Amino acid sequence: MTTMSTSSSSQSLKIGIVGFGNFGQFLAKTMIKQGHTLTATSRSDYSQLCLQMGIHFFRDVSAFLAADIDVIVLCTSILSLSEVVGSMPLTSLKRPTLFVDVLSVKEHPRELLLRELPEDSDILCTHPMFGPQTANNGWADHTFMYDKVRIRDEATCSSFIQIFATEGCKMVQMSCEEHDRAAAKSQFITHTIGRTLGEMDIQSTPIDTKGFETLVKLKETMMRNSFDLYSGLFVYNRFARQELENLEHAFYKVKETLMIQRSNGEQGHKRTES
């Protein structure tokens, strides 16, 4: 893993976004602000929104791929990536292109893109560890992870990475395996705790401690995310199952310790009474 800061200037890029949902729109706003030219395609019709944003929207994926694009950013869900990439008529590409994924798991898109994309396509796997909910006021100090999986055009790749460095992101270069191992211990566990608190339906009380207020906020934040995202974090991260088992084991260990303490306390109370 390498933590780095980047201060070099970047060239203006022609960026195409596949999947123009909330996260695609979130990224697009900053990319436009920096002077990059954007196009987009999506299963839903975002033509009016793109018109307002100054983005050329393509309903036809073949026409999108045939356009003069430097970088194609895959902003699909984890669960739909395979279907989306598999249905793209990649023969429509006119020149070597940098493909970037922004999924919350990394080994899955790495393997898929290496298998499906043309040999002359560059691949950059990334994970902006933030989104519209957590970085609505800017990207500064938020983490941007990336792995240069297959890069020949260093200038284009560096210019894309610079988008995030310019906004003040903490730039972390690590392998896709390292990412998934760490994310299973952090992001997946965070989502799991939030989802569990959601199942408990915890609510604020008149006597909340600061710690409990934090838990309520965690629950609310995690429950605003789609279950598809949470499911994807588990299904497509091979390290997640072990962390779920570790969490379950830890819970029962804590419960066991409490039961032992309770039993000891009751026995001590009985001896005192006798």
Concatenating the DSSP letter of every residue in 169-222 gives: -EEEE--HHHHHHHHHHTHHHHHHHHHHHHHHT----TT--HHHHHHHHHHHHH
DSSP string across 46-71: -HHHHHHHT-EEES-HHHHHHS--SE
Tokens (6 digits) for 59: 């309903």
Query: Would you give per-residue pLDDT tens digits along the chain (274 residues)?
Result: 776 554 455 689 999 999 999 999 999 999 999 999 999 999 999 999 999 999 999 999 999 999 999 999 999 999 999 999 999 999 999 999 999 999 999 999 999 999 999 999 999 999 999 999 889 899 999 999 999 999 999 999 999 999 999 999 999 999 999 999 999 999 999 999 999 999 999 999 999 999 999 999 999 999 999 999 999 999 999 999 999 999 999 999 999 999 999 999 888 777 777 6
Q: Are residues 112 and 209 in the same domain?
A: no
Cα–Cα distance measured from residue 109 to residue 177, given in angstroms and rounded to the nearest whole number: 11
Residue 207, both tokens: 């006597």
Residues 62 and 26 in one domain: yes
The answer to whether residue 119 sits within a structural domain is yes
Same domain, 149 and 191: no
Q: Which residues pair with 74 in a beta bridge?
A: 18, 101
Residue 162 belongs to domain with CATH number: 3.40.50.720
- Claim to verify: residue 168 and residue 226 sit in the same structural domain: no
* One domain for residues 104 and 29: yes
* 182 exposure class (CB count in 10 Å sphere: 0-12, 13-18, 19+): middle
User: Domain residues for 217?
Assistant: 186-264
Specify if 273 maps to a domain: no
